[in-house]
Each structure stands twice: as C-alpha cells, then as structure tokens.
Amino acid sequence: MSTAINIESLFKTYPDGTQALKGVNLSVEKGGFFALLGPNGAGKSTLIKLVTTLYKKDEGHLMIDGSDPDIDFKRVQRAIGVASQDNELDPGETVMALLRFQGRLFGLSKTEANKRAEELIDLFDLQPVSDKRTADLSGGNKRRLHCALALVHKPSILFLDEPTVGMDPLARSLFWEVITRLNREEGVTVFLTTQYLEEADKHASDMALIVDGSIHFAGTITGFKQLVHPQDASSLEESYLTYIKTLSPVC
Amino acid sequence: MQHVTVLLVNRGIIKLLKQPSAPLGGFAMSLFFLVVYNAGIGGVGFLDAFGDGGYLSFVFPIALISLAMGSSAGAGQALHADMQSGYFQRLYLSPAPRWSLVVAPMLADTLSSLVFGALLLAIGALFGVVFQFGWLSVLGIMVLCLLWSVTLCGFSAGVMLRTGQPQSAAIVTNAVFPLLFLSTTFLPRELMTAKWLLAISWGNPVTYVLEGCRYLLAGTSQPIFLLIALGVLSLTALSSVIFALNSASKIRR
C-alpha cells in the first residue's frame, strides 16, 4: 500500500523558544484510518497545522499525497480536507451559502457547487439548519458543518481534529457512520486526533502516540495495546492511561 | 484576474453592501467637510487665487481625500472579522493564492471608494465645482482617488495583519490626518503666512495630491503638481500593497 502522509525528522520551534516537535517520523498509509493521540500540549495540533500547511516547518521532510507542500502547495490543498477544532465559519453566512462558496473556491461551477452543497447537507443531516446563519448553529451542527466543508472538494485525505466535541450521542454515531463509510467505500484516508479514545479504538486501525514533541509509539492500535498490556485484552483508553502514567507518575 | 480572486473580491463587495458603515461613514464625513469648510471659509472665494471655480472647487479635493480615509477602514475590518471568526484559516486552506486573501478585500474597498468618489464628483458638479478638462479631469481625479485609496487600504490591511487589531484603519487614519492640516488644505500657498507651515507643506505628499486635483478642477495649480501627485501616489500605493502582502506572508508561522 502506498503512503498518504510521510513525515521524516520534523522539527518545529515557536518564536518563544518552545520546542513543539523534536524530530517526528511518521507514515500514514493511503486509505488508512489513523489516530494521533497524546496529552494536551504534546504537539498534536502543531503537527496537524504543519501537515495541513498552516505552519512552516523548521527542519525535516514532509510529503502529502506524494507532494511536498513547500513545492506544490496547491496540489496539497486539493488533496487534503481539514476539519479543524478551531471555529472556521463565517458567522454571517448560511450553511448552504458557505458550502456553495467553498465549492466555488475549489473550482466547482455554480451548478456543481450547488449540487455538492446539497449532497453534503444530506450526508451530514444538516437539512433543518441549511438556511440558518452559522452563528446560530449548535456546537454539534458546527462540527458537522466543518466536516462537510472539509469534504466539498472530495479530498483524498481528511484531517479530523477533535471532530465530535459538542455532539450528542446520536449525532456522534451518525457522524462516525459517514466517516467510516467514506474511509471504507471511497478510500479516503482519515487522520484523526481525539481525546475520546473509545472513538479512536472503535474506528481507527493505526495510531501514533506523541508525547512532548516526540513520537513514542507508531503502529497498529492492537500493537499498542499488546505492548502495554501483553497479558490482558484491554481497551485503548486503559492502555493509553497506563502508558502515560508510567511517563509521569504524578498523573 | 484569477477566478478565485474574483470570487473573493465579490465576497468583499457583498460584505460591504451588507455592512456599509465604513464607506457610508467616509462619504458622510466628506460631505460634512465640504459643506462646513465651504460655509465657513467660502467667503474668501472671490480672491484671484481661487480662480473661476471659487472656494468650492478649491476645497473640493479635501472631500475626496477624506472619503478614502473614512472608507479605507473596510479592508482592515473585513480581514479582522475573518480572522476573529476563524474563517480566514479556512480560506487559507483553500487553493486560493494567499496574496488574493489580502488583495481581495483591498480591491473591494477600493471599488467602493471609487463608487462613492464618483458620487461625490457628481454632487460637486451639481453645486458648481469646475472641471477644466471636462471628462479628462474626472478621469484624472478618479485615478488619484484610486491610488490614494489603495495606499490607505494597503496600510490599513497590513497594520491589521501585523497587530491583529480592528483599529488598524484608525491607526492609519490617525497617522495621515495631521498631514491634511499641514498642507494647502484651506488656502493656496501664496496666502499662507506661517513660513514653517509652508516649509512642511512642501514635504507633505498630501499637498501634491490636493494641488494635482486643483489643477484638474479649476486650474488653480500647476500641471507639475499633478505629475508629482501621480508619482508620489503610485509609489505609496505600491509600497502599501507590498507592505500588506509582506504582512500576510508572516501569518504562516
């Protein structure tokens, strides 16, 4: 299987001297469902922002869908879809208008953009709020709209940064149904960060654990569980907590 | 212009139409200045120095200059609104050239300045402002307005991108505002008595814009001032666009 994301010796230090990434190496297979896990401040957001071209790297190599973002930025932008944990909605626009405009930004004609907006509204069950301004949406609907916006141009890699925060259980279940279908049926590579480890356990097959800017583990979720608890079958959350506690006994 | 840049300019114009406070404020301020200055000082218009156009034609350029000063807030405000809402990040993740994210609101703002500038010229013509070269005068004044507007929009957008403050336009306006009064704003050079003010007015770029406009209106100035105004404003417009683009490139940490 070929690689969707390949990261080698990636370093990033912020202007205030904080070393956010200390030589990260990571590889995500095309069509895979990958979870990046780690405590707060471990470097997850920095890594996502670098991979999605929002930040500049200090050192290292980065290939996204076969392209270097520093060389072929436009190709990378078309290959990736990003549903960030930050609010990225124009509060004055309606759900439908925002989706249409996103389609137009990615080169769709008016008709195509309308059609795609309607498809995504159906897919994410946003019909009841399609004419509402985004400022008036609930937290859960905003998260779903973020994801719909990320998918407008049918990217091959989807970045989901804490995607289900604020969603009720039913909305979460429907959301994961859509995402897993995209992953399995359309071969979209999913790169997920989440603090809901049961979601990563249920949907992802591969993972990496980042702590203090370094990758501590990269491999399958099953492999991680076996590494931490070789004798018992444990959940990802149990294994994760056990591992993190060994690093920092105070926790 | 690329398709995506046109889309972003259209979006900027629609935003201005939905929230027209900046251009309308600039327009109202310009009309206010025009009416008040003409009412207060217009009595001196019979002097030879004001030519056939009288005081209204003489003071009219200040209305054009203050128009752009008022409405240039739009570019900075539009960028600030997108950054505050986080939407700028989504635009940043689109294939739109990154320069266009900054240039589009500037263009939208400049277009709005030109529309209101044309409206102001029409009002001026109705009330007797003289255009000595007819439509050529109108065209020349519109070019000066364009360059002045780009200058202010660019600095306003650049300051906003660097400081993250919505008051970016006010910072630019506050920096430019004193220049209006250190120039031949109210009286021609030959009637100014303070030597220090005369000396400063020579070094003040606003003087050349005012005098350039006056040459095109009632012909109370020299053509060389128009050429200097075009040169100075081209330089400041270019500098401000470079400043804005350079400020945009610093967003990616």
Residue partners of B64: CB distance under 8 A and separation at least 6: B30, B117, B120, B121, B141, B144, B145, B148, B213
What is the three-class DSSP state of B231?
A: helix
Kindly state the average pLDDT of the residues B141-154. Answer: 92
CA of B211 to nearest chain A CA: how many angstroms apart?
43
Q: Give the model's confidence band at B1: pLDDT under 50 very low, under 70 low, under 90 confident, else very high.
A: low
The rounded distance, in Å, linking the Cα atoms of B154 and B144 is 15
Q: A54, B11: Cβ pair inside 8 Å?
A: no
CA B200, CA B4: separation in Å to the nearest integer? 44
- pLDDT (0 to 100) of residue A205: 94
The complex scores an ipTM of 0.84
Selected for mutation to probe chain A from B93, B101, B251 (highest A CB count within 10 Å) is: B93
- The closest CB to that of A105, out of B7, B82, B85, belongs to B7
Task: Spell out where A15-101 has E strands.
Answer: 19-29, 33-37, 59-64, 80-83
Is there a contact between A101 and B11 if contact means CB atoms under 8 Å apart?
A: yes
Distance CA B60, CA B243 (A): 30
Q: Is the pLDDT of residue B226 over 60?
A: yes
The candidate with the shortest Cα–Cα distance to B125, out of B168, B169, B63, is B63
Quick one: pLDDT band at residue A249, thresholds 50, 70, 90? low
The span from the first CA to the last CA of chain A, in angstroms, equals: 39
**Is the pLDDT at B79 greater than 90, yes or no?**
no
Compute chain B's Rg from CA coordinates.
19
What per-residue string of b and e applies to A117-132 under the rule 16 or more CB within 10 Å gives b? beebbebbebeebbee
Q: What is the pLDDT of residue A98?
A: 96
Determine contact: A106 vs chain B, CB below 8 A: yes
Asked if the Cβ–Cβ distance from A54 to B252 is below 8 Å, we say yes
Query: Counting every residue, how long is chain B?
Result: 253
pLDDT of B16 reads: 83
Q: Nearest by CB to A55, which of B15, B91, B252? A: B252
Domains and CATH numbers, chain A: 3-247 (3.40.50.300)
Flag if A102 and B95 touch (Cβ within 8 Å): no
Q: Do A87 and B86 touch (CB under 8 A)?
A: yes
Spatial CA neighbour of A5 closest among A164, A192, A181: A192
Express as a percent the part of chain B with pLDDT over 90: 29
Nearest to B127 by CA among B28, B216, B217, B48: B217
Query: Domain map of chain B by residue range?
Result: 3-249
